[in-house]
Amino acid sequence: MTAGWVEVGDRVFVRRHRELDLNCGLVVGMSGCLVVDTRSHLGEGRALAEAVRAVTPHPWAVVNTHAHYDHCFGNAAFRPADVWAHRRCVAELAGTAEQQRAHAVRDLLAAGDPAAQLVAMAPVDLPDHLVDDAAVLDVGGRAVQLRHHGRGHTGADLVVAVDDVVFAGDLVEEGAPPAMDDAFPLEWAATLTRLLAEVRGPVVPGHGAVVDAAFVAAQRDELAQLARWLTRQGTAPVFDELTRSVALARVRVPP
Ligand SMILES: [Zn+2]
C-alpha cells in the first residue's frame, strides 16, 4: 500500500478514507492518470493530490461521479486539470452546493469536527468536461469508459470503468444503506441492472469496502423491492418530501 492506495486492478487504485468512509480512485497510464472524486474540501483534495503524487508523476485529469460535496468539493486542488462529469451534474452542483455545504457544516459542527470550517470555505469548482451517455478517455494510453446508466442515487451519476474494475460512485454503497436524499428510487434498480452488465470484477462503491457483482445485485434487488412498495402505495408519480422520508426509512429497515 502506498499513501493509502490499494491496487485493485493493474495500476488501478482505491483510497478509502476515514472521513465518511469515502472511496477515491486512481487510474495510472503510461503518460497520464485519472483521479476519481476529490473529497470534501480543499485540504482533503490537496492531501489526495499529494497521495497521487506518491504513486505517479504523470499529469492528471479528474472525474466527479456525481454532484455531492464529498465527491467534488476538493476539485480546485487539481486545477489546472480537465474535470469530467455528467452534463446534468454541473447544474445539480451549481444549484445545490450551498445547501449541501450548509447541511454538511451543520452536521460537522454538531459532531465537534473542525472540518466544518474547511467545508464552509471550500470553493465550488464546477466540472468543465461533460458527458451525456458515454465517453472514452485516453488516460496516458489507457482507455477509460465513462458511462451514465440512468438516474439512481442522483440524476447525473457517472460510472468509471477500466479493464475489469468499475467505480460505481454512490450508485453502490457498502456499509450503509443507499443514500436517498437526491435519489430516483423508481429508476435506481434498472440503472444498477445496466451497470451490472459491465461488471467483470471488483466494484468500487462510493463509500465502504470494495464489493462484487453479487453485492450489487443484492442492492439492486432491495431497491427494486422499494420501488414496488412505493408503486403499491400510489406514491410513485409524486416523489415528494414525505414519500422520500418514508422511502428512506424503508431502505434503512428493509421488510
Ligand atoms: Zn452521493
Would you state the pLDDT for residue 152?
95
CA–centroid distance, residue 41 to ligand 1 (Å):
15
Q: 179 in helix, strand or coil?
A: coil
Cα–ligand 1 centroid distance for 58 (angstroms): 28
- pLDDT (tens, 9 = 90+) of the chain, 255 residues, equals 689 999 999 999 999 999 999 999 999 999 999 999 999 999 999 999 999 999 999 999 999 999 999 999 999 999 999 999 999 999 999 999 999 999 999 999 999 999 999 999 999 999 999 999 999 999 999 999 999 999 999 999 999 999 999 999 999 999 988 888 899 989 999 999 999 999 999 999 999 999 999 999 999 999 999 888 888 876 554 555 555 555 655 554 443
C-alpha cell of residue 105: 457544516
Q: Give the distance (Å) from ligand 1 centre to CA of residue 132.
A: 19
Give the DSSP H or E segment for 119: helix 115-121
How close is the Cα of 218 to the center of ligand 1, in Å?
Answer: 19
* Residues whose CB is less than 8 angstroms from the CB of residue 225 and which lie 6 or more positions away in sequence, other chains included: 254, 255
Write down the pLDDT at residue 254. 41
Just give the CATH number of 5-252.
3.60.15.10
The answer to whether the beta carbons of residues 152 and 184 sit under 8 Å apart is: yes
DSSP string, 49-106: HHHHHTT--S-EEEE-SSS-HHHHTTGGGG-SS-EEEEHHHHHHHHHHHHHHHHHHHH
The H-or-E segment that residue 244 falls in is: helix 241-252
Rounded to the nearest 10°, the torsion over CA 49, 109, 250, 238 is -90
Edge-to-edge strand list for the sheet holding 5-9: 5-9, 12-16, 23-28, 33-36, 60-63, 83-86, 129-131
- Residues lining ligand 1 (ion), CB within 5 A? 68, 170
Q: Which helix (DSSP H) or strand (DSSP E) does residue 145 occupy?
A: strand 142-147
Question: Would you kindly state where each structural domain of the chain is located, as residue ranges?
Answer: 5-252
